[in-house]
Amino acid sequence: MQITIFIISAFIIAGFLLIIFRKKKQLTQPDANAEKEILSRHVLFYQRLPDLEKIRFEESLKKFLQKIRITGIKTTVEDIDRVFVAAAAIIPIFAFKDWEYRNIHEVLLYPGSFNEEYHLEGGGRNVSGMVGTGALQNVMLLSQNDLRSGFLNHTDTSNTAIHEFVHLVDKTDGSTDGIPEILLAHSYILPWLKCIHEEIQQIQNGQSDINPYGSTNEAEFLAVASEYFFEKPSLMQEKHPQLFDLLQKCFTAGAN
């Protein structure tokens, strides 16, 4: 009798795990036609690429979604969310063809902003994205509203998801300090630090169009400036030529 119950239980558990596996597979694989349409309509970085590079971007997107889970917390994850999360991950490291994120395995998608305790209710709900720590190590949390706004709104320089993935790139060398040593040649580190401090001073003096949050510290400056660089490259080149040049060296060094 006990053996029979054990066998039945094993079949039930196996069936339950199979359902979960299939559900996760569906959650991480957007429809191919929808994927290309979303990229073509909404992702400016993708739109600027030559046709062959667009194909490589699409392949990178698929690989990312095969490895990284995207889980909705009190919201439904749709194809547009999967494509936007994956695009935000690929954009900063696209020039580095062999790059793989090793410090993330899941993205938690909240419907809106949350607080630092990851709550959707109560005070202090002003967080739109963050890289988790402690029990949420290797997990990223994003506001679905801000994720979508970052790609659907083409009039500003903000993109929350790109911001958070740049933090992960920065963290790859062991510390989130605004100096992405894995991307930036050693000879450019001192000019980069000098540029950061000059730009932060401009922000604090109210003489810059860079998001004031970038003046918080060097790590936040890198993330905020990277949003600007990828969203409005021509505008940054015009208004911040030295910063643009250094970020170009950082994010395109692997292209050749």
At 53-91, the pLDDT tens digits run 999 999 999 999 999 999 999 999 999 999 999 999 999
Domains of the chain: 31-255 (3.40.390.10)
At 236-255, the pLDDT tens digits run 999 999 999 999 999 986 44
Round to whole Å and give the CA distance between 207 and 26: 48
At 95-109, the pLDDT tens digits run 998 888 988 999 999
Assess contact for 140 and 131: CB atoms under 8 A.
yes
Task: Name the band, by pLDDT with cuts 50, 70 and 90, for residue 124.
Answer: low
Mean pLDDT to the nearest integer, 171-180:
88
At 15-50, the pLDDT tens digits run 433 334 444 444 456 777 889 999 999 999 999 999
Phi, psi at residue 84, to the nearest 5°? -65, -40
Side-chain-side CA neighbours of 169 within 13 Å: the count stands at 28
Q: Which residues pair with 142 in a beta bridge?
A: 109, 129
Round to whole Å and give the CA distance between 180 and 185: 9
Instruction: Please give the torsion angle defined by the CA atoms of residues 240, 245, 251 and 252, in that order, rounded to the nearest 10 degrees.
Output: 140
Q: Which are the contacts of 53, defined by CB distance < 8 A and separation ≥ 6?
A: none
Side-chain-side CA neighbours of 201 within 13 Å: the count stands at 6
Strand order in the sheet with 129-131: 69-72, 106-110, 139-143, 129-131
Count, in order, helices (H) and strands (E) of the chain: 11, 4
